[in-house]
Each structure stands twice: as structure tokens, then as C-alpha cells.
Amino acid sequence: MDRIKLLPDNIANQIAAGEVVQRPASAVKELLENALDAGATEIRLIVKEGGTQLIQITDNGMGMSATDARMCWERHATSKISKADDLFNLNSFGFRGEALASIAAIAHVEMKTKRREDEMGTLIRIEGSKIIEQSHTACLNGTQFAIKNLFYNVPARRNFLKSIPVELRHIIDEFTRVAMPHPDVAFSMYHNDKEVFDLHPGPAGKRIAELMGKKNDNDFLPVAESHDLLTVKGYIGKPEVAKKTRGEQFLFANNRFIKDAYIHHAIVNAFDQLIAKDQYPTYVLFLEIDPSRIDVNIHPTKTEIKFDDERAIYTLVKSAVKKALGQYVVIPELDFGDPNTFNPVAFLQQDNASESTKSLPKSPSFDPFKSGSNMRGVQTSQWHKLFENNYLENREDAVKPLNDLLGHEKKTARISDAFQIAEGFIVANKDMRLIVVDQRAAHERILFEKHMHNISRRSAPIQQLLFPRTIELTGPDYVMAHDILDEMKELGFDVADFGTNCLIINGVPAETMKGTEKELLEGLLEHYKNNASHFANDKRKNLAVSLAQNEAIFRTRSMEKEELIQLLEQLFECEQPAVRPNGKAVYIELNNQYLSERFK
């Protein structure tokens, strides 16, 4: 009996839809790009409930004939290519002919389209790949798509959709990536009848500023470099406006948004020693290259491409960014009479300037220039003391600042001695057992439990700012932040709306160091975004984890013995000291069995 069968079209289309249309934002991207390929100069996007109920896109492009209006819904039907060689000379966004067929397979779709030379337009209605109506209709020139009940016949996929704010954030992402490289096209967007964007044709710099919520053009440096192989244009942010959050990095190849870790590395490398290692530069760069030298047929989403000479592209992009930085970055003048300005050793602390809320206080006797102060090699000659219960005298006074930082009352713990090895690991004797502790992971567990305690009791102390600070966000980050304002207040943040894509910080957690409020919130949002998939159904836990990750000390942090012991004491007061909130180990125990197994 024959076992191999040809799949019906409706099932094949649903399989293809799983790759092309992963969420409402995927459908938005495909339809916006189709509108641009049709030569539209005005495009309007209307979405309801994060695109799950309605996605409507109207354009004034060339429209379609009655025959094309019917044909465009078939799989692999396209006007963009006709032979294989065309794949390596693409000047359009779409070319696979899969998008409309995929959308029609999993939604209720209505399309109205009309060419300028036609008196009447065409109406098409489709449900689950089946055309249920085709008729003549009166409509404007161009095309209008209305997609309703997305994934209505694929409940498993619909159940995997996130909350409305999350889906809206993804739609804004795609809208931004399409609208940014086309400043000559008018774009507008509405969500639940509320205007999100109203973009008019204008200079590229103005379009970028509008989409990124930037009010100060002086924050950008222009990039313009031409070569036989590549032209690089666009803008980069000045080093001082670099953030701890991603989201303000846009890279385009022939006006197509792409993700390329290799080129991103080139851009970040150009900022070397100008920004802290935990910061991300802002950039919007447009690469213009001969279409025959790139391959966009890598993935259905078309955000990955291959260059035929990646090393040359890397070098040219890095050089263009470096030239812009060297040409426009102004070195500030030093006022030698101002002790706050003239600090000959300030550069030693520059990379750690943003760590002020993360760092444990130094011992009063700590001297960074004194021999033996470096964490490597410190106290390693005292191995024999690890198994002595010689508790330090008067340790309560010595570690009082650490108690304040961790927010705990001191309790007795059987930690007799401790010292650091390598970078960020503590070797200690606990209850006559040798343990090795990841100091950052330990601090993260302590902070997490403190924040969860404050959230559960809604008792986090808030420090009101004398001079509130504002923070500008990208559209998607603003939507995300707005969705968790109430939960952030439970952590000690007093944050409110302050205009389009802008928040005002009125108060922060009480232990926050003055002057770091903006950086703390940016870091919190970045970690929250990165943890979203892991803690999708628990905003409060995600926030507690994110704040703990943002505040935890770095592994490169050097501490005195008293601080190490106090950190470990607080760790073992936690409910779950052995694991971080993400489930990874905080410490390992080197007991007799472990050592015996290793030396067999």
C-alpha cells in the first residue's frame, strides 16, 4: 500500500503560514512591504487588540486587475521574479509569493483593489484559503486589506500569542523598520482608534527622530562614506547617549531591515573605549550595495542576508563609524579649578561609573594603588585558615555598610573564612565544608528575594526625587514600560507618562545612588525584555529578577574579607540559596565525595 500522499493545499498553506506568519506583526510586515512594492506614497495601518482582532492596511499604490486580485492568493504567485537568476538582482521586498497565501490560510481576509485606469475595483473575501466572494466594487485607487480573527482555525498557534501590549510592541517594531528607510512615504498607524504615528514625507533625519522619539537632533552624528563596494549612510548616537537597553540599533541593506551580528560587532567595535562595556550605541545605518553581491533568500522573514565579502563590509562599516566619531565628537575642556571636573584618575572608574548601584562598599582601608589590593592572589596564602572556626572580632561594625546595602538584619552564619579567586568566585569554609561561590549569582539571589518580599507586601520604600528625570524610549519599549507601571511602583519606582514615548521618573527605590536613576530604569527594562519569554506569565517575578540582575555586583568587583563573609551570611539566610532565580547554580560544594571522584 502506498504511504506517501500529496498534502491538500489548505494544509500546505497552514504549514507555510507557520514560518511566514508567526504573530500579527508578521502579517503587518508583509502587507506594508507589499504596499511599498506597489509604489504607494501613502500607507495607513489600523490594528485592534494588538492585531488579533483586526489588521487593516490601506495604500494608494498601483492596485490590481481582477485577474491579479484572484491570482495573488495562490501559493508562489508573484510579480517580482520570473527566473532563478532574479533572486540575485532583487529590487523589491517580496519575491517568494508565500505571504498572502499564508495569511489567507489562517484568517478571514477581505481585499479591495483598483487600478487608476479601471472604473470599478475588485472585492475578494477569503476564509481559510477558500475564496467565498469575488465581485466588482467601488473603491479608491490602490489596495485595502482587512485581516480579521487571525489564527481562528489554528487554536494552538493562537494560544501561544502573548498579551496585547506585547503583540502591539512587535507591530510597532515592524512598522518602524519599514517606515524608517522610506522618509518620502507618508505613514500613519492607529491602535484601538488611538493615533500612534502620523508621519509625513520629509528629511531622513526627521523621520528617524520621530520614530525613535528623539527631541534633540544634536544627539546624532551623521555618517556618510562611499566606496566602490559599499555606501554607508545614516546616523550614530554620540557616545554620551548610549544606553543600557537595546532597541535603538537599526541596520538596513538596500532599505531592507536586517539582523547581522557580524556588522553589529563592527559598529560596537568602533565605539571601543568611548562607551561602557554594558552599554549599547544608538545607530541607524543604511548600506547600499549591488544586489548581485548579497543573497536575501536565506529565511522566509528575509531579515538575514549573506554578503559575498563579509570581511570587506566589516572593515568599511567600522571605518565609516570611526570616521564619524573622530570628526564630530568634541573633547570637553577641563576646568582645572573644579575638583569635580579635574580628576587625573577618573578614567580608572569610567567603565564602572554605571555600576554604582551594583557595587558593594569598599572597606575604609582599601587602597587601589597599594600592592596586594588586587583581587587576584589576595589572601591565597591563607588556605589553611579555611578549616578554622576563627570568627572575626568586631565584624558587626566592619560590615555594617554591607548590611544596609543588602537590606537584612545580621544573623549568625557558620562562615569562618573566605577569599576571592580568579574573577568573581569566593572560596569559603561553611560548616567545615569547602564551597566555591559565584559572587554575582549570590548577590542576585539575595536581591531577588528582597524584591519579591517588597512586592508581596507592597512595602518597597520610595525615594522621591527633588528634580524628576525624564527618559525617552523607543515606541516598543514605551509600550512595554507603560504595561508594567503599576508593578514597577511595587518595587519602589514612581514613574508616569510624560508625552509621546517619554516617561518621567519621580521616585526610585530608596537605596538607589543619586544620579543613577535613569540608568537603573534603563537597565531594568532591558533585563525585563530579555527575560520576557522565561517569565511570560508573571510580570512581578520578571521585574524582581530583572532588577536583581541589574543591581547585582559584577564578577570583577574586588571585596575585602569582611565583605565576602557578610555576603555569604546573607546568601545562606535566603530561602533558596543554592540557585539563582533562573535555576542556575550559585555555589558548588567541594566535599570528600566530590574530591575523591575527581582524583580517582
Paired with 284 in beta bridges are: 235, 250
* CA pair distance 439, 456, nearest whole angstrom: 26
| pLDDT over 60 at 272, yes or no | yes
| pLDDT over 70 at 477, yes or no | yes
| pLDDT over 80 at 564, yes or no | yes
Per-residue pLDDT at 351: 44
* CA pair distance 11, 14, nearest whole angstrom: 5
303, 296 in Cβ contact below 8 A? no
Mean pLDDT of the 430-435 span: 80
Cell numbers found for residue 135: 465581485
The verdict on domain 9-202 having CATH code 3.30.470.20 is no
Q: Count the alpha carbons within 13 Å of 294 in the hemisphere toward its beta carbon.
A: 21
488, 436 in Cβ contact below 8 A? no
pTM above 0.75, yes or no: no
* CA pair distance 127, 148, nearest whole angstrom: 10
Mean pLDDT of the 172-181 span: 95
Residue type, 261: A
pLDDT tens, 219-244? 889 999 999 899 999 999 988 888 87
Mean pLDDT of the chain: 79
106, 150 in Cβ contact below 8 A? yes
pLDDT tens, 301-313? 557 788 888 899 9
Q: Which of 4-13, 178-187, 399-408 has the lowest mean pLDDT?
A: 399-408
553, 360 in Cβ contact below 8 A? yes
Strands 108-114 and 54-59: unpaired
SS3 state of residue 455: helix
Q: Which of 10-19, 255-264, 470-479 has the lowest mean pLDDT?
A: 10-19
* CA pair distance 567, 360, nearest whole angstrom: 9
> 28 Cβ partners below 8 Å, 6+ apart?
45, 47, 51, 55, 57, 171, 174, 175
The verdict on domain 375-600 having CATH code 3.30.1370.100 is yes
| pLDDT over 60 at 184, yes or no | yes
Mean pLDDT of the 284-293 span: 90
Which of 436, 434, 460 minimizes the C-alpha distance to 447?
460
Evaluate the CA torsion angle 342, 343, 349, 355 in order and state its sign.
negative
Rg, C-alpha atoms of the chain: 29
Strands 220-226 and 462-472: unpaired
| pLDDT over 50 at 409, yes or no | no
Which of 333, 286, 294, 322 minimizes the C-alpha distance to 310?
294
| pLDDT over 50 at 144, yes or no | yes
Query: 86-90, 274-278, 359-363, 407-411 — which one is most confidently predicted on average?
Result: 274-278
| Residue spans per domain, the chain | 9-202, 214-328, 375-600
Residue type, 466: L
Per-residue pLDDT at 334: 42
* CA pair distance 324, 284, nearest whole angstrom: 13
Per-residue pLDDT at 432: 73
Query: 141-150, 379-388, 536-545 — which one is most confidently predicted on average?
Result: 141-150
536, 398 in Cβ contact below 8 A? no
The CA–CA distances, whole Å, from 71 to 61, 79, 107 equal 18, 10, 18
* CA pair distance 143, 124, nearest whole angstrom: 11
The verdict on domain 214-328 having CATH code 3.40.50.720 is no
- The proportion of the chain whose per-residue pLDDT surpasses 90, expressed as a percent, equals 32
* CA pair distance 308, 509, nearest whole angstrom: 51
Q: Which of 127-136, 170-179, 226-235, 352-361 has the lowest mean pLDDT?
A: 352-361
310's enclosing H/E stretch is helix 310-328
Domains 9-202 and 375-600 share a fold: no
